[in-house]
A = this chain, B = another copy of it.
C-alpha cells in the first residue's frame, strides 16, 4: 500500500468522492486555484473545474450558509474552514440551520454537508490557530463530530462523512498533517511514511462513523483520546511502562460507548485527554458517561488531562499543551488512588 501524509489522504478522499459523485462540491477560502493553505484540496480545481472546486470570499458564514442551501438543493458540499478558530462566524448556520434542517422540516429538506477544519495546537500558532472547539459541536443535536488521528482513518472517515446524509464536522488535527506527534517537540519529526497508519489503501473505502479504535491494549487503565492526544497517550504509556489501554475515539458523536465502557470495566481506571480547555470540554462528557456506566468498576476517579482554562498562548505553547509528562502524571495518579 502506498504511504500518504494526512494532507494527501484528505485530498485523496475528496478526489475519490468527487469522482464517484458529481454532486460533491468543494469550496472555501483559498481552496480553489491554490489548493488550500494546507494543500488539502490541491489539484481538485484543475481536475473537476471551477464550478465544483472554487475559492470563496472570506466569509465563513457565507461558506456554510451557501453550503446549507446547496445541500438542501441536493448537492453534497464538502467545505473547508481555514482554521477551526475561524468557525465562529459560521456557528449560527451550523447550529441553527445545518443541524436542525431535517428535524424542523420533518425530513423534507436535509443537509448532507461536511465541514472540514484544522484544529489543535503544537505549531506555535497562538490563540487563533490552535483551538480545539469540538465540545461546541458535540453539544449540538443533529451534528456528527469526527476527529481522525492518522492518514488511513482520515481518508476512510472523510469519505464516510461525505456520503453521510447528515451534517458532519470533520476536525483535522493540523499537528498530525505531516506526521504523528507525541508531544516531544524537542525530538525530530517522524514522517507518516515511517508509520503503519500512514499506509493508505488506494481507491474507495469508507470507515463507519461511530466506531472507536483500540490503539494499544492494556490492563492497568483506559485512556480516552482523539487526534494528536492519541500519540501523546501512547508515548506516556511507553515511557512510564504503565500498561494503559489507549482508545482512539475517532468519532465523538455518535460515540462508541460500548468500546469505552468495556475497556473501563476491564481496567477500572480511566484518564481522559484532550487539548481543548478543560471546563465543559468533551472530556467532561466522557467523564460523566464513564462514571455513570462503569461506576461499580471504577477504582479511582476519572482524571482529565487537558488544555488549561486560558486562551491558547504563543510563547508558552509547551506549558499549555498536555504533553506526555502531564499524561504520565495522571496515569500514576489514577493508579495510586486506592
Residues on A lying within 8 angstroms of B by beta carbon are 85, 88-89, 91-92, 95-96, 99-100, 103-104, 127-128, 135-136, 138-142, 253, 276-277, 279-285, 287-288, 291-293, 295, 298, 300-304, 308-311, 337
Task: Give Cα A100 to B284, complex, Å.
Answer: 23
Task: State A127–B280 Cα separation when bound (angstroms).
Answer: 23
Q: Is the CB of B288 within 8 A of A302?
A: yes
Given contacts A96-B128, A139-B280, A279-B253, contact A292 B301 (CB under 8 A): yes
A104's partner among B127, B140, B279, B292 (CB-CB below 8 A) is B127
Residue numbers in B under 8 Å from A298 (CB-CB): 295
Q: Give Cα A127–Cα B127 distance, bound, in whole angstroms.
A: 33
Is B103 touching A280 in the complex (CB atoms < 8 A)?
no
Known pairs A277-B139, A277-B141, A282-B280; A311 contacts B103 (CB<8 A): yes
> Taking CB as reference atom, which chain B residue is nearest A282?
B280
A104 CB contacts on chain B under 8 angstroms: 127, 311
Is the CB–CB distance between B303 and A292 below 8 Å? yes
Residues of chain B lying within 8 A (CB to CB) of residue A89: 92
Of the candidates B95, B291, B311, the one whose C-beta lies within 8 Å of that of A302 is B291
Query: Given the complex of chains A and B, what is the CA–CA distance between A295 and B290 in angstroms?
Result: 13
Chain B residue with the shortest CB-CB distance to A291:
B291
Measured CA separation A295–B287 after assembly (Å): 12
Copy total for this chain: 2
Say yes or no: A139-B96 contact (C-beta < 8 A), given A91-B88, A303-B292. no
- Identify which of B96, B285, B292, B300 contacts A279 (C-beta below 8 A): B285
- Residues of chain B within 8 A (CB-CB) of A136 are 136, 139
Most chain-B CB neighbours within 10 Å: which of A139, A142, A311?
A139
Q: Given known contacts A92-B89, A295-B301, is B281 in contact with A139 (CB within 8 Å)? A: yes
B91 touches A279 (CB 8 A): no
Bound CA–CA A164/B184 (angstroms): 41
A288-B283 contact in complex given A127-B104, A136-B136, A141-B310, C-beta closer than 8 Å: yes
- Tell me which residues across on chain B come within 8 A of A85, comparing CB atoms: 96
Chain B, Cβ-Cβ closest to A95: B88
B141 touches A311 (CB 8 A): yes
Quick check: A309 and B141 within 8 Å, CB to CB? yes
If the complex has contacts A103-B310, A311-B103, are A287 and B279 also in contact, measured as CB distance less than 8 A? no
Q: Give the one of A92, A279, A288, A311 with max B CB within 10 A.
A: A288
Given contacts A103-B310, A309-B141, contact A291 B281 (CB under 8 A): no
Chain B residues closer than 8 Å to A295, beta-carbon distance:
298, 300-301, 337
Measured between alpha carbons, how far is A337 from B295 in the docked complex, in Å? 10
B284–A288 touching, CB < 8 Å: yes
Bound complex: CA A102 to CA B138 (Å):
28
Contact between chains at B288 and A135 (CB < 8 Å): no
